[in-house]
Structure 1
Amino acid sequence: MNTRDPWRAVAAVLATAALLAGAGAAPALAQPAEPPTTTPFSTPDTGDCAQRTSPPAPVDLSEVPAPGERAPGPLPVPNPPIGGSRMAECGVVLPDSAKPVPADISATAWLVADLDTGEVLAAKDPHGRYRPASTIKVLLATVALRALKLDTVVTGTAADADVEGTRVGIGPGGRYSNRQLLQALVMASGNDAAHALSAQLGGDPVTVAKMNELARELRALDTRAATPSGLDGPGMSTSAYDLAVLFREAMSEPRFAEFIRTEQIDFPGFPPDPRIPGDTDHPGFVIGNDNHLLYNYEGALGGKTGFTDDARQTFVAGAARDGRRLVVTLLKADVRPLRPWEQAARLLDYGFAVRAGTGVGLLPAEAAEAPAPGAPTLAAPPVGTGTDRSGPSSDARERARLFFVAAGVFVVLALLVAARGVNRRRR
């Protein structure tokens, strides 16, 4: 817990009290153990477009603004949708005559796309807005790789060690290179590593601003980071489509691609913590990659896991087969009937079976094509049940067509009358 923020401390205490009373949820973790359950599984229905503008309501106090601050409103909804008209659909989006998707997918939203061509092969609620949890570290890693030198060594702080959620094990006084911090960030989802990187980028508010600026440049307009690490905060948002965009951009960085496929590394220890009486030296240790797809799926390129109480299970990963590289994203998933990495494996198998060139949308070609902030026409499209909502209704289009036809006739008549008058004067 970050003890420098009393409001977060109060929120954490209240959340813990709610948990003890049976009304709360567990602390934020990167990948929690599978809980026992007897509730029958059913694939979430997204046909009502409930998450068109905002993620689901939070289940805890993590998104309560600090005193004197206000929660940001929903992000505008691009119209037409980024990626093509079918990306506006809220249900399952498949190519014509495609086979049914695997049945055991508990992710509320997901997407499979080609990493190289950007072709979206299949999706479910692609632009629905959900929380990213630690998958937002993909965005932080991209920002950090472009701004920091990998061989720079920094000293761990108490603030790093005390950060909320999953920690790799940074200790006060420890010496860590940015390479090690980035490895700990993407391999073991270290929130302490995220804090140490963020401090070098100017602190959390500055880092979050840089992350959101890059998201806008990439046309990931459903995405708004609220924290560098993925811990829930006011306004946090992404989509299955955006997460694929962010991962694709990160994979253009060779070091990121190297780090996410690394299985384990040696991580430095740290000296005795002066805050702990009688503490002794903490030796170095080995950290492993927490992405099980990496070990269990042929052709896996690596990826990123995530979990918070509000976000639930989140996941993004890539794989290569027969000369194709695909990305798969999962948002608001559960650990049943399959673990997230197993759901991702099934969706990857499905994506590799989809013939190239028959997809349902496209990821943005490159960041250079991004419009300036505020340039796109942004509006909340009408809510439907999985049909194309990318533009005006057919009635509105028909009225517009009739208006322009009538206007054209009027202009032609006016020109004829004017020409006749000129001829008379010439005579």
Structure 2
Amino acid sequence: MTPGVAANTAGSGRSVPLARPAAAVTPPPAPDSAGSAPTAVPCPKAVAPKVTRSPKPTPPPPVPEHRVVGGDALATPGLIVPPGVPAPPKVTASSWLVADLDSGEVLGGCGPHEYATPASVQKLLLAATMLPRLDPAEVVTITKEDLDIAPGSSAVGLLPGGRYRVETLWLGLLLQSGNEAANALARLGGGADGVAGGVRAMNEQARLLGARQTHAVTPSGLDAPGQFTSAYDLALIARACFADPAFRRYVLTERTRIPAQKALRGKGFEIQNENQLVYRYPGALGGKTGFTDYARHTYVGAAERDGRRLVVTLLGAEPRPLRGWEQGAALLDWGFSLPRQTSVGRLVEPGESDAEPTPAGAGPIAAAPPAGGPSNTDRPGAGMFVALAVGAVAIAVAILAGRRSRVAPTSAE
């Protein structure tokens, strides 16, 4: 049985536990003495769509240094878990990862650095990028271009010419996976370049977070050539999102009302959160679902238990015998069963992978944190940097005593 996951029994008014798949999982081998990752237990293969109107996404060749972000053991196409722990539940996802939102420890994964297509979980990168930029109380107008989305793809039902608060767009994006809301938010945050500027900002944000295997082409996650991510990168992006109080409030909202547009004779209507984890997993913090022909089912979910917050990401899943969110719930249960500080790697901090080598004798230079993210001002060595700077100024003053000179100020980048 799967602890913490329940299904509604039709007409009964009660819940019953969902059963795990009957198939067993062979416990993975431990890494060898050289620290190489185990490959004896491969991840499931992604299922190619039989019929699709979408262009096939083509990821770039793998970059070795990107595959070891977070630890050498994560550079495996197969299963990686700490030695001696219970085997994780069997899932159909072609790649997945479980991590601690607070400590950043990676508890385990399968092909965590394998390229995959994101589908609508890419909207989390849009949120991580644009939430700090946009005023949720601002009222904005939807354009015809915002509604330029793939026929039959997910939409909130926003009207061209309609006026909505930015907060309403966020709720439509995260509850109903509205692709027109994604276009509007990217346009609003993209400056003079509109949606193109918004997508460019998303890619800049991915790089800042250390998500080197992520490249956005569309703000919504609809399939496009050259668009990709990885389970590890999604965990970095999700961690940035869950650090934002507004995001946490949005993704835990069960239902909201899209206001009427009287000038356009449009009626108001209600939308519900599509993420079943919110309703059916105790301690759920929210997340995001996704699906396209090539991506298959993708999922990001987070939950809290006994003061511990975990996040799960999965890509390329098939919905049988368990749906995407149920596979995520089973992996969360597995993660919560492991001892604290259990780890096979870690989530890097924003800006860490962009750090330049420090010249000899110089102190560390702190990067500016993203809005709502962790501050770098308490980084070890910052006091040394200040002390060296003060000492240098004192020496200069002593040498130049009695002179009147104009000294140009210096700046740290």
How does the TM-score come out when normalised to structure 1? 0.69
Say whether the 8 Å CA contact 1:114–1:326 is kept in structure 2.
yes
| 1:220 corresponds to 2:220 | no
Residue 168, structure 1, aligned to residue 156, structure 2: yes
Q: 2:183 aligns with which of 154, 171, 195?
A: 195
Query: What secondary structure is seen at the aligned counterpart in 1 of 2:257?
Result: strand
Q: Which structure has the larger Rg over C-alpha atoms?
A: 1
| Partner SS for 1:78 | helix
Q: Distance in 1 between matches of 2:187 and 2:221?
A: 16
The 1:286/1:327 distance shift into structure 2, 3 A limit, reads same
Find the aligned partners of 1:97 and 1:322 in 2 and give their Cα distance.
23
The structural deviation recorded for 1:116 is: 0.2
Residues 267 and 284, structure 1, Cα contact 8 Å, conserved in 2: yes
Conserved in 1, the CA contact under 8 Å of 2:238 and 2:300?
A: yes
CA pair 207-169 structure 1, distance change in 2 beyond 3 A: same
Counterpart in 1 of 2:106?
120
Which AA in structure 2 matches 1:76? Answer: V
> CA separation in 1, counterparts of 2:267 and 2:356?
48
- Aligned partner of residue 154 in structure 1, secondary structure: strand
State the match for 2:116 in structure 1: 130
* 3-state SS of 1:336 partner: coil
Deviation at 1:162, TM superposition (A): 4.0
Deviation track 1:322-369 (CA, whole Å, cap 9, x = no partner) reads 0100000110001101011111111000000111122111001x2132
2:84 corresponds to which letter in structure 1? Answer: S
Q: Kindly indicate whether the alpha-carbon contact (under 8 Å) linking 2:258 and 2:271 is maintained by their aligned counterparts in 1.
A: yes
Q: Does 1:341 align with 2:332?
A: no
Query: Counterparts of 2:278 and 2:59 in 1: how far apart (Å)?
Result: 37
> What's the CA shift for 1:91?
1.1
- Counterpart Cα distance in 1 of 2:179 and 2:63: 29
Q: What is the number of equivalent residue pairs in this alignment? A: 318
* CA displacement, residues 354-411 of structure 1 (integer Å, 9 cap, x when unaligned): 11122111001x2132316999xxxxxxxxxxxxxxxxxxxxxxxxxxxxxxxxxxxx
Tell me which of 246, 261, 273 is aligned to 2:237. 246
Q: Choose between structure 1 and 2: higher helix proportion.
A: 1
What CA distance in whole angstroms lies between the structure 2 residues aligned with 1:156 and 1:309? 28
Which one of the candidate residues 256, 271, 275 is aligned to 1:287?
271
Deviation at 1:63, TM superposition (A): 3.1
Q: Secondary structure at the match of 1:287?
A: strand
Q: Is the 8 A contact 1:81 1:87 kept in 2?
A: yes
Query: Residues 179-205 of structure 1, C-alpha deviation per residue, up to 9 Å, x if partnerless?
Result: 110111111100010011122123222
Aligned partners of 1:72, 1:333: CA distance in 2, in Å? 18
Distance 1:196 1:261 in 2: 22
Maintained 8 Å contact 2:56/2:223: no
Deviation at 1:161, TM superposition (A): 3.1
Are 2:142 and 2:162, in contact at CA under 8 Å, matched by a contact in 1?
yes
Deviates more, 1:251-260 or 1:77-86: 77-86
Task: Identify which of 287, 291, 296 aligns with 1:307.
Answer: 291
From 354, 360, 380, the counterpart of 1:371: 354
Please give the per-residue CA displacement for 1:7-48, whole angstroms capped at 9, x wherever unaligned: xxxxxxxxxxxxxxxxxxxxxxxxxxxxxxxxx9999xx959
Rounded to whole Å, the distance in 1 between the matches of 2:357 and 2:319 is 39
Q: In structure 2, give the amino acid aligned to 1:145.
A: L
The residue that corresponds to 1:21 in the other structure is: none
Give the match's secondary structure for 2:132.
Answer: helix
CA contact (8 A) 2:140 2:163 kept: yes
**1:370 is paired with a residue of what secondary structure?**
helix
Partners in 2 of 1:73 and 1:63 — Cα distance?
Answer: 15
- The structure-2 alpha-carbon separation of the partners of 1:290 and 1:372, relative to structure 1 and needing over 3 Å to count, comes to same
Instruction: Answer yes or no: is the 8 Å Cα contact 2:115–2:213 preserved in 1.
Output: yes
Distance 1:190 1:42, change over 3 A: farther
- Preserved CA contact (<8 Å) 1:160 1:170: no
Cα distance in 1 for partners of 2:300, 2:317 equals 12
Instruction: Judge conservation of contact 1:41–1:337 (CA < 8 Å) in 2.
Output: no
Identity %: 46
Rounded Cα–Cα distance in structure 2 between residues aligned with 1:99 and 1:127? 22
Give the root-mean-square deviation of aligned CA atoms: 2.9
Alignment of 1:13-412 (within 5 A): 47=39, 60=52, 62-63=54-55, 73-74=60-61, 76-78=63-65, 81-103=68-90, 105-164=91-150, 165-202=153-190, 203-270=194-261, 281-364=265-348, 366-371=349-354
8 Å contact 1:220–1:245 — kept in the other structure?
Answer: yes
On the 8 A contact 2:42/2:79 being kept in 1, the answer is no
Higher-RCO chain (CA-CA 8 Å, sequence separation at least 6): 1
Counterpart Cα distance in 2 of 1:261 and 1:133: 21
Deviation by residue 1:105-147 (Cα, 9 ceiling, x = unmatched) = 1111111110000011111111011011000100101211111
Deviations 1:271-296 (A, max 9, x none): 576xxxxxxx2211111110001100
Shift of 1:56: 8.8
1:304, 1:316 within 8 Å by CA — same for their partners in 2? yes
Q: Distance in 1 between matches of 2:64 and 2:119?
A: 21
Change (3 A) 1:305 1:127: same
TM-score in terms of structure 2 length: 0.71
Q: Do the aligned partners of 1:141 and 1:250 also contact (CA within 8 Å) in 2?
A: yes
